[in-house]
Amino acid sequence: MSGYEEFFLYLQIEFQNPGEMRRIALLLIALVICTFTSFSFSQQSGQASYYSHRLHGRKMSSGRPYHKDSLTCAHRTLPFGTLLEVRNKKNNKSVVVKVTDRGPYIRNRIIDLSYAAAKELNILHQGVAQVEIKEWAFRPFVPILLPFNRYGLFVPVKSTEEVLNNLKVDKEKVLK
């Protein structure tokens, strides 16, 4: 019996009452909806500016000195150390920056970028640009192997012993 069959058998035995099964299904649907909507609301759009050269070397709100070549930013509410992905809406370039300061103090702006981050986004000549920011999380690409074909039908998976037996070569056939 495969793992999937055991799991579904467990669900059938555990939840004999159809009302309880319906309640769990609704809970799972609500969980999925909440998960996907939280990702869509975690983005902010607005204007971004960048620090002037005269701030180079001065201490920021976090206590560390500002360096114009570091990929840092200022945000009003996010905690220090938060990594943000900032995307320029005009040219679709993006950069990952670290929140190390508070600001901007101009009303219609949502983020102040370091000189290096502004250079990566190509906003040096404009001074202010429309950007979209979202919290960045490291997500390595790991392919997930599911035992289904492209039509959604179950494909039998071979065990490692079966694969090894297919790879073994008969010496007599090879030496002939």
% helix, strand, coil for the chain, step of 5: 35, 25, 45
pLDDT of residue 96: 94
Where does the pLDDT of residue 73 fall: very low under 50, low under 70, confident under 90, or very high at 90 and above? very high
Q: Annotate 23-47 with b (16+ C-beta within 10 A) or e (fewer).
A: eeeeeeeeeeeeeeeeeeeeebeeb
Res 115 pLDDT > 90? yes
- Residue 66 DSSP symbol: P
* Average model confidence (pLDDT) across the chain: 79
Q: Which of the two residues, 148 and 29, has the higher pLDDT score?
A: 29
CATH class as words, domain 43-135: mainly beta
Q: Which residues pair with 74 in a beta bridge?
A: 101, 112
Q: Which of 116, 115, 125, 39 is nearest to 90 (CA)?
A: 125
DSSP-derived 3-state class of residue 154: strand
User: Please, where in the chain does CATH 2.40.40.10 lie?
Assistant: 43-135
Q: What phi, psi does 18 have (nearest 5°)?
A: -65, -30
Predicted TM-score (pTM) above 0.75: no
